[in-house]
Amino acid sequence: MKMMNFKHISQIMILIFSTILFFSCGGAEIQRATEALKQASNENKKLLQELTETKIKLAEQNTAIKYTEKELKRLNDEIKMHNEYIITLEKKVTGITSERDRLLSSSLTDQNKLALLNERLASLQKEIKELTDRKKLLEAQYIELKNSSDKELASLQQKLFKSQEELSGYKIKLMELETLKSRLLEEAKHHAEAAEKARKKSLEAEKSLLTIRTETPERIQLAGVVEEERNRARAADEARRNAESEANRIQTDINALNEKIREKENETKRLNELVEQLKKELLQQKESFDRIIEGLKNEIEQGKIKASMRGREIRMTLMDRIMFPSGSIQFTERGRFILKLLGTELKKLKYGLVFIEGHTDADRIVDWRIQRIFPTNWEFSVMRSVRVVRFFVENMGLNPEKFIACGRGEYFPVAPNDNARGKALNRRIEILISLERKIVQYPEGIPEPEN
C-alpha cells in the first residue's frame, strides 16, 4: 500500500511538472511568435514606404509625360493655326489672281492697279512660302517630340525602376528566409527540450530500475522505458542537429542576400541621384535655349536668325547681313551682341563641341583688294568662322578645345544661287552646339545607356 501511494504521488508530481513545463514553453512560444509578428510588421512598413516612394517616382514620370503631351498639343494647335492661315492666304491669292486676270482681260489702262495687285500677290505668295516652311519645321518638331524622348533619361529611369523592383524582391525573399530560419530554430529548440525531457525520463527510470534487484515484470517494463526514452533522446538530438544545420545554411543565404540588398540599395541610390541630376541639367539646357530664343526674338521673327533644338543639339543659322558688313570679316554691333548672348549661355551649359561653319554664295570675289587676302570663297568662309571662334574664346573666355572652325565656301547651299534671295540665304554662319552626350558621370558598376 505504501508502495502504491509512492508511485501515485510520483505520477502526480510528473504530471504537475509536465503541465508547468508545457505552459512555460507555451508562453515562450507566444512571446517568440509576437516578436516574429512585430518583425514582419516592421518589414511590411518598410515595403509600404518603398511602395510609396515608387508611386512618387511614377507620379513624377506622369508629370513629365503630361508636360510632353501639353507640348505636343501646343505644337499641334500651332500647326492647325498655320494650316488655317495658309488656307486663308491661298484664298486671298486666288481672289487677287482672279482680279488681276479680270483687269488684264478688260483693260490695259489699269496698269498701276495691276502692278499693285501683282506686288500684293508676290507678297502673299512669299508669306505662304514662309508659313509653309514654318509649318514643316513645326511638324518635324512634333514628330520628333512624339516619337522620341531623351533616350538617356528614359534608359536611366528604366534602370532605376528595375533596380527598385529587384530590391523589393530581395527584401521579400529576405523576410521569407528570416521567417524560415526562425521556424527552424524554434524546431531545434523544441527538439532540444524534447531530448532533455527524454533523458530525464530515462534517468528517472534507471534510478527506479536500480531499486529492483529481481527480474520482475515491473523491472522489464522500466528497462523498456529506459531504452525507449534513450532512443527518443537520440532522435530528438538528430532532429535538432538537422534543424540547426539547415538554419545555418539559411543564415549563409541570408548573409549573401543582405550583401545583395546593400549593393542594390547603393545602386538604386546612385541611379536615383543620376536621374535627378540629369533632369536638372536637361531643364537647364532647355531654359538656356529659351533665353537665347527670347533674346533674339526680333531677329528670329525677321528671318535673320534661325534656331532649333533637336535632342542634345542646338543649331543656329545667322544670316551674314546681321553678322558682318558686305565683304568684311569685322562684326556688326548687332553681331557682337548676338555672340555675347550665345557665349553667356554657353558658360551655363555642359556642352561637348561647338562647330562654327562659314558659308558663302556662288559669286566669285571680284574686288582685287579682298582677293589678295581671300583668293576664293573657301578662305573667306573659313576666316569668318575663325573670327566667331576667336570672339567666344578671347572675349567670352570659353574653352578653345571645345570649338571647331571650318569653312564650306559655296558648296553647301540651302537655296538656289540664281537669284538675290537665294544668295542671301546661302551667305550665313551656322553654329552647332553639341550638348555633352554624357551629362552625368556613371559610377562604376552602372553601364551607360545605349544610344
Note whether 355 and 346 are within 8 A (CB): no
Contact 160, 57 (CB under 8 A): yes
Residue 388, pLDDT above cutoff 90: yes
**Dihedral sign (CA 264, 173, 161, 43):** negative
> Cell 516652311 appears where?
133
Please give the mean pLDDT across all residues of the chain: 76
In contact, 427 and 437? CB cutoff 8 Å: no
- 411 contacts: CB under 8 Å, gap ≥ 6: none
The three-state secondary structure class of 430 is: strand
- For residue 123, how far is the Cα from the chain centroid? 48
Beta bridge partners of 39: none
**Residue 16 exposure: Cα atoms within 13 Å on the Cβ side:** 6
DSSP run (H or E) holding 319: strand 313-319
Q: 93-97, 105-109, 321-325, 345-349 — which is least confidently predicted?
A: 105-109
pLDDT surpassing 80 at residue 241 = yes
Strands 351-359 and 428-435: antiparallel
Model confidence at 5: pLDDT above 60:
no
pLDDT band at 311; cut points 50, 70, 90: low
Distance CA 14, CA 312 (A): 85
pTM for this predicted structure = 0.48
Please say if the pLDDT value at position 60 is more than 90: no
- According to the model, what pLDDT value does residue 410 have? 92
Residue 157 has pLDDT above 50, yes or no: yes
Map grid coordinates 562604376 to a residue: 444
Q: Between residues 367 and 68, which one has the greater pLDDT?
A: 367
Domain coordinates in residue numbering, the chain: 313-435
CATH number at 313-435: 3.30.1330.60
* Amino acid letter, 311: G
Pairing of the two strands 351-359 and 403-407 = parallel
Express as a percent the part of the chain with pLDDT over 90.
16
Distance between CA 359 and CA 318 in Å, rounded?
10
Question: Between 96 and 396, where is the model more confident?
Answer: 396
